[in-house]
Amino acid sequence: MYHIKASLSVLLTANTFPVSAAMDRLRSAFNRVMRSERYSRFTLQPAEDGERRGEVNLDAAAEEHGSPSFRPAPVQQNRRLLICLVLSATLLLLLGLIVGCATSRKHQAKPRGCEPKTTSAPPEAQPAEVQPQLDWKDLTKALADQLTKDALEVTLRNLDLNSRSAGSPEDLILGNRIFDTFTELQMNPWTDIHYVELQRPDSKRPNQIEFGSEVFKPSGFLAYSATGRVQGRLVYANYGRQTDLDLVEKITKLEGCVLLIRAGNLSFAEQVENGARRGASAVLIYPDVEEFQQNEDIELYGHVHLGSGDPYTPGFPSFNHTQFAPTQSSGLPKILAQTITAKTAKSLFRQIGGPEAEASSGFKGNLASVTYSLGGAKNISVEVNNQLVSTEIHNIFGVVKGFSDPDRFVVLGAQRDAWGPGYAKATVGTSVLLELAKAFHAMVEKQGFRPRRSIVFASWSAGEYGSIGATEWLEGYMSSIDKKVFTYISLDGMVMGRGSLIASASPLLLSLMESTMKEVEAPLGSGTLYEMMGGAGWEEKVMRPMAMDDPAYPFMAFSGIPSVSFHFITSNAEYYTYYGTLLDNSDHLNYQTNQHTAEITATAARFAGLMALRLVHDHLLSLDVSRYGRVLTRDVSRVYKRVQALLQSGELKDVGPSWLSRARGSFQRAAERISSAVQNTDLTDPEACRILNDRIMKVEHCLLSPYVSPVETPFRHLVFGRGSHTLASIAASADMEELRTQLALATWNLQSCSNTMMGNIWELDNEI
């Protein structure tokens, strides 16, 4: 009441309106009313200027006890006077408003001119435009409408380059173009800069091979090979798999030999690692026409680092080499490695000697006029002179921010570098990255889409050297990235042909993939992708184990982020003939797709975009925890059978597999608990959804072994990693002490994961 009266007093004093006398009488009456009222907390006391001020009144009785009184007003308060007080205050307020309005009009300057005053109707108030909430059908249509064949055809043409090697001027220019596009889309782009060591051939001292009187100087190379010159017996070992080497070792010794291996089935790094373990001094890798149907002069390019990222800063980012002591990755090979052409391989086979491989062995390829002898009789010399080059690389990022949980995001990524044109490997993925960025931006800005979570678009550099750009980013934010990134979708190599689809993914994403395949039309009008790939039996036809050289692999096996990569490919094929060669260009890909590259790329973009859309749209993350049950049951069963066999044979004592089986049971119950929580969660409660999503996000990451070093063993995943800690390695171990240790650690790794999934500490299920 004090504030109302004071405001009116100021307003009335400022007026020169003729009714001031009447207002004075009203104010006098109001003051008399106020004097008749007594307040226990505030009173109005006269001041020297005649105005009244509000003061805190301390009751006498309260003063004696040292505290103010906040008692209610006396009971004998006159209710009629209170009503009059309220009415008087209301009247004064209305009069004050009338006076102020009249005075404002009176003092306004009159417009110049003598035109008669005209009265026009006030403009109707325009209601604020309210964007309707789009339903799922509207969203999927909006996304599909953006990702058209024509739009992708233009982008593919604009990004088609003859050269784009990591750290080159072309790579930097392309990165700047992507940054500018993200800027135009108002995606707050930023750059992640790293200084990495890349190995390249020495132009002054080319790599070479001497066999008999012939000297070969290949232009292709394998980055991170050991350097030097070695001599040894030439031995043919098929694909260089452990089973292949076992067969060859029965015929000839492998210690100190030079292995001749055909590309395929394993990564270059794994082939060289297998050879090094058998004591080989060098490995030569060639493309056999059985898998690579191309001309015999094509050169192969790749790397042999058994890991990812810069091998000279293992486990930590290459922001600035001067900050860290020199170190090397444990995955760097200690033997020489070099690629050769199919034509060179034919020359070597003609002179290799030794027994011929049996027809049933699977060693015979399709090189013309070649007997595929195993060798072991003649020496060959190999010289590798690659050199390290310190290189600055840039990762480029843009973001469409979420509206509810902007700190949680899905990452869509594509490498932009390649050995040559890299049309299938880099151009297609980068084109899709940009078109998806444009599509999601348009949906938010023009169609009212409000994603709950953020979408990060990433363009990586140095992908050809082992996902260096992506891995350095993961290493730079290792401690927090698993709490923010809930899925990675790789766009690399999305289109390699037509007629079929192959993919690799975390089990958490299988249900999402299935539902998305049911919604995306197959390219060239053949029903949905789900129908194209056999309906209910799609997993058997589509899914492949995720290989170490898969661009999505470090996200899952190193950082514990659910990841997926997929490839449209020619029916019944596992490889794209020109991948990793200088012939990976638009002409060859168009031939593989029968001139439908843009259409298939548009389908691939919709598939990736729809998965991302579902992940950022729904209240709960579309990660199905129950799909891990079958995978763990399979791997634990293999360990159980192996341990039981060792116990029965007496090779292993005082240890059993039952604890690991119980830990798997705990994981299964924790997964069921999450599935039950999903069914019972109120989707209108944001906090409940966020808590449940937190539990779901932890599943993949908690399968990373905490007992191994990311420096020595970067791929720490218990199921999909690489090293002695994995369930697959334990099931194949021949070292009993090592098996004991790793069995115990794997058991508690799995049990700890189960505990993490349970959520509350009082709900833990420790049965081991």
pLDDT of residue 79: 52
pLDDT of residue 480: 86
Predicted confidence band at 526 (pLDDT cuts at 50, 70, 90)?
confident
The answer on 619 and 475 residing in a single domain is yes
The answer on 506 and 416 residing in a single domain is yes
Tokens (6 digits) for 180: 């500018």
pLDDT of residue 348: 96
Closest CA to 286 of 240, 333, 336, 345: 345
Tokens (6 digits) for 491: 């766009």
pLDDT of residue 152: 97
- Tokens 């009993």, located at residue: 736
pLDDT digits (tens, 9 = 90+) for 15-35: 444 444 444 554 454 444 444
Domains identified in the chain, total number: 4
* 708 belongs to a structural domain: yes
Neighbours of 76 (CB within 10 A): 6
The answer on 445 and 586 residing in a single domain is yes
**Paired residues of 397 in beta bridges:** 190, 458
**Paired residues of 52 in beta bridges:** 46
pLDDT digits (tens, 9 = 90+) for 566-597: 999 999 888 898 988 999 999 999 999 999 99
Tokens (6 digits) for 153: 């055809």
The answer on 315 and 222 residing in a single domain is yes
Burial 387-405 (b: 16+ CB within 10 A, else e): eeeebebbbbbbbbebeeb
Q: What is the mean pLDDT of residues 517-546?
A: 93
CA distance 375 to 236: 6
Q: What is the mean pLDDT of residues 245-274?
A: 95
Share above pLDDT 70 across residues of the chain, in percent, rounded to a whole number: 81
Single residue among 564, 595, 623 that ends a domain in this structure = 623
pLDDT of residue 548: 93
| Residues in Cβ contact with 445 at an 8 Å cutoff, skipping those fewer than 6 apart | none
CA distance 318 to 194: 5
Q: What is the mean pLDDT of residues 55-64?
A: 36
The answer on 494 and 424 residing in a single domain is yes
Closest CA to 252 of 363, 376, 356: 376
Single residue among 345, 370, 385 that ends a domain in this structure = 385
Q: Are strands 453-460 and 485-490 parallel, antiparallel or unpaired?
A: unpaired
Q: Hey, which bits of 281-418 come out as E strands? A: 282-286, 302-303, 336-339, 375-384, 387-400, 405-415
Judged against a pLDDT cut of 60, whether residue 721 lies above it is answered with: yes
CA distance 139 to 121: 42
Q: What is the mean pLDDT of residues 500-512?
A: 98
CA distance 427 to 394: 17
pLDDT of residue 496: 96
pTM score above 0.85 = no
The region of weakest confidence among 83-92, 559-568, 727-736 is 83-92
Residue type, 366: N
pLDDT of residue 36: 43
pLDDT of residue 83: 64
pLDDT of residue 295: 82
Judged against a pLDDT cut of 60, whether residue 414 lies above it is answered with: yes
pLDDT of residue 667: 95
DSSP state of 198: E
* 346 belongs to a structural domain: yes
Tokens (6 digits) for 393: 């690389």
Q: Tally DSSP H helices, then E strands, for the chain.
A: 23, 18
pLDDT digits (tens, 9 = 90+) for 617-633: 999 999 999 999 999 99
* 110 belongs to a structural domain: no
DSSP state of 300: P
Give the CA count within 13 Å in the CB-facing half-sphere of 312: 21
Q: Residue 24 CA to chain centroid, in angstroms?
A: 74
Judged against a pLDDT cut of 90, whether residue 758 lies above it is answered with: no
Single residue among 333, 354, 385 that ends a domain in this structure = 385
The answer on 45 and 65 residing in a single domain is yes
pLDDT of residue 766: 61
The answer on 416 and 428 residing in a single domain is yes
Greater confidence (299 vs 54) lies with 299
Domain CATH for 188? 3.40.630.10
The answer on 500 and 426 residing in a single domain is yes
Average pLDDT taken over every residue of the chain: 85
Phi, psi of 29 (to 5 degrees): -65, -40
* 118 belongs to a structural domain: no
The answer on 668 and 577 residing in a single domain is no
DSSP state of 723: S
**Paired residues of 453 in beta bridges:** 405
CB 491 within 8 Å of CB 147:
no
The answer on 615 and 555 residing in a single domain is yes
Q: What angle do CA 416, 417, 422 make, to 5 degrees?
A: 95
pLDDT of residue 768: 53
Q: Hey, which bits of 326-374 come out as E strands? A: 336-339
Predicted confidence band at 107 (pLDDT cuts at 50, 70, 90)?
very low
pLDDT of residue 47: 41
| Residues in Cβ contact with 39 at an 8 Å cutoff, skipping those fewer than 6 apart | 57, 73
Closest CA to 505 of 522, 523, 518, 517: 517
Judged against a pLDDT cut of 50, whether residue 57 lies above it is answered with: no
3-state secondary structure 87-116: HHHHHHHHHHHHHHHHHHHHCCCCCCCCCC
- Tokens 């055909």, located at residue: 262
The answer on 512 and 586 residing in a single domain is yes
* 117 belongs to a structural domain: no
* 124 belongs to a structural domain: no
- In three-state secondary structure terms, 432 is helix
* 258 belongs to a structural domain: yes
Residue type, 450: R
Domain CATH for 651? 1.20.930.40
pLDDT digits (tens, 9 = 90+) for 144-202: 999 999 999 999 999 999 999 999 999 999 999 999 999 999 999 999 999 999 999 99
The answer on 300 and 408 residing in a single domain is no
Judged against a pLDDT cut of 90, whether residue 360 lies above it is answered with: no
CB 236 within 8 Å of CB 244:
no
CA distance 614 to 367: 48
Q: What is the mean pLDDT of residues 666-682?
A: 92
Judged against a pLDDT cut of 90, whether residue 128 lies above it is answered with: no
- In three-state secondary structure terms, 640 is helix
The region of weakest confidence among 19-33, 279-293, 745-759 is 19-33
pLDDT digits (tens, 9 = 90+) for 368-412: 889 999 999 999 999 999 999 999 999 999 999 999 999 999 999
Greater confidence (147 vs 322) lies with 147
Question: What domain range is 311 assigned to?
Answer: 202-385
Share above pLDDT 90 across residues of the chain, in percent, rounded to a whole number: 72
Predicted confidence band at 683 (pLDDT cuts at 50, 70, 90)?
confident
Judged against a pLDDT cut of 50, whether residue 120 lies above it is answered with: no
Predicted confidence band at 504 (pLDDT cuts at 50, 70, 90)?
very high
CB 294 within 8 Å of CB 588:
no
* 424 belongs to a structural domain: yes
The region of weakest confidence among 78-92, 209-223, 372-386, 648-662 is 78-92
Torsion of CA 217, 221, 225, 226, to 10 degrees: 20
